[in-house]
Amino acid sequence: MRNIPLKNNEFYHIFNRGVDKRTVFLDGFDYARFLRSLKEFNQVEPVVSIYILDQLKSRKESVVSGTLQKKKLVEIIAFNLIPNHFHLILKQLKEGGISEFMRRLGNGYTRYFNYKYKRNGVLFQGKFQAAHIDSNEKLIYLSAYVNGNHKIHGVKNDGKFSSLTEYKHKNNFSLCNTGAVLNQFSSIQEYLNYVKNTTGEIREIREDFKNSLLESL
């Protein structure tokens, strides 16, 4: 249960997973849809749906303009999409921004998924979870945790559906403000080494936990 206040100009680790731990990203189109949702729904102005946005753009309506010029609800610092869950690091820019952004994201993707796979009902496991990142050290550590989460879970996609690619190529700005983290390192490679070492340590802890659990049975 999430019961922490979400304040402007503060960072938060946001995460959720499929109901009953079900897979929520079944193919590349699903990942692409969620990634596009991260961009299109991150604006103060109301967004009805991506479908309607596409219809307006196809008609070249002047009311539709690039979302990069619009005021944002949140600043995305990092993300990673795993088959049955996702992680985000967000900085809230507007009052209620994270809650509104996550509402749009969850509802929009659920409608897309249910229509595509001919199902009904909820897709994610309740409301999103949020943890306040109350120090710079935590921000750096959690950025590595999120960017390397596919490695931690043994997902062999080379971080294709994470912000790791944006961190590797700092100038290719797309979704994230990578500078919030990268500017604290002497080079991109230093940060990538930090991600590799951090995720490696977390994987070892996970394996040690599994082994100790098995030995106690």
pLDDT at 130: 96
Q: What is the pLDDT of residue 206?
A: 77
* Structural Rg of the chain based on CA atoms: 18
Pair 20, 133: CB distance under 8 Å: no
Q: What is the pLDDT of residues 123-181, one digit of tens each?
A: 999 899 999 999 999 999 999 999 999 999 999 888 999 999 999 987 555 899 999 99
Q: Is pLDDT of 208 > 80?
A: no
Q: Which of 188, 87, 195 lies closest to 140, judged by CA?
A: 195
Structure tokens at 18: 């499929």
Task: Please write the tens of the pLDDT for every residue from 82-139.
Answer: 999 999 999 999 999 999 999 999 999 999 999 999 999 999 998 999 999 999 999 9
Count Cβ atoms below 10 Å from residue 3 Cβ, excluding itself.
Answer: 5
- Rounded mean pLDDT, 15-35: 96
- Measure the CA angle with vertex 47, ends 44 and 53; round to 5°: 130
Compute the half-sphere exposure of residue 216: CA atoms within 13 Å on the CB side of its CA: 6
SS3 27: coil
User: What domains appear along the chain, each with residue ranges and CATH number?
Assistant: 11-215 (3.30.70.1290)
User: Can you list the alpha helix ranges (DSSP code H) found in 28-96?
Assistant: 28-40, 50-58
Closest CA to 37 of 53, 26, 21: 53
